[in-house]
Structure 1
Amino acid sequence: MHRTTLLPENWWDEAAEAWADNATGQDAATLRAEIDQLRRALAGRMVIDQACGMVMILAPCRRGPARNLLVDISRQCKSSLPEVSAAMVAAWEGEPLSRLMQRALRHGLRRLYAEDPVCDSASAAAPSGRGGP
C-alpha cells in the first residue's frame, strides 16, 4: 500500500519564501560584516602604502625594506602596522612620534642601512656608472 501525503497547494512557495528570507537576512548580515572588514583593511592598506612611500623617499630604499622597517617598528612598539603607519604619516604632518616609536625608528634605520647597501643617500644621489650633470 502506498501512503500519499497531501501538502497544501502553496507549501512549496511558502517554504521557498521562508528559506529565501532567512538566507537573504543571513547573507546580507554576512556581506555587511565582510564589507566593513574590507573597508577597514583597505583604509589600513592605504596608510601603510603612504608610510612606505615616505620611508622610500626619506631613507632612500626599495619598497620591501621600507615595509620591513615599518613591520619592525610595529613589533618593537607592540602596535599594529596600520597604527604605526598612521603615526608616521601624522609625524610628517607635524605630530610628534612617541619616544618608543622614535627609538624603534632609529634602530630600524640603522639596521636598514647596515643590511642594504642601496639604502644610503650617496648611492641614491649619484648612481654608479653615470656621470653627473
Structure 2
Amino acid sequence: MKVPLYHQKRVRVEMIPLIDIVFLLLVFFIYAMLSMAVHHGLPVLLPSSESAAIEKKWTLSVTLEGDGALYLDEDPATLDTLAAALAEKAKDSPDGGVLLFADRTIPYQDLFRVLDRIREAGITRVSLQAETEKTP
C-alpha cells in the first residue's frame, strides 16, 4: 500500500480579516461624513442650554451678531429685506425651517424683530440655536 507523503493543502482566503477591514472603512466614512456636516451659520457666541439638540433637517440659517449685523446663509441682509429674501429661499422646501443663531449679548427686542420678519416670510418652524452647557 502506498502512503502519500505530501498532502497538498488548498489555498483559502480568510474572510474574517476582510470583514474587519470593511467595517473599519465603513466607520471611517461615517465619521468623515458627520464631521463634514454643513452649518450655514456664522461664528457667534451662542447662549448655553442643558437640553440643546442639533436639528439637521433645516434649510436656512439667520445669524444675528452682537453688533446688530444680520446674515442670511452667510450673506449680509437687512431687517427690511429679510422677509422677502426668506420667502424667496423657502419656496423650494415648504417643510423647511430656519436655524436662528443669535449672539447672547443682543437685546431681546432685536431678537423679536428678527422673529417677526421670519414669521412674515411664512415660515413657522424656527429653531433657536444654543451651545450645550458644560456641567462640572
More strand by share: 2
The two structures share one fold, judged by TM-score above 0.5: no
TM bracket, shorter-chain basis? 0.3 to 0.5
Q: Which has the higher contact order (CA 8 A, sep 6+)?
A: 2
TM-score w.r.t. length of structure 2: 0.32
TM-score by length of 1: 0.32
User: More helix by proportion, 1 or 2?
Assistant: 1
**Which is greater in Rg?**
1
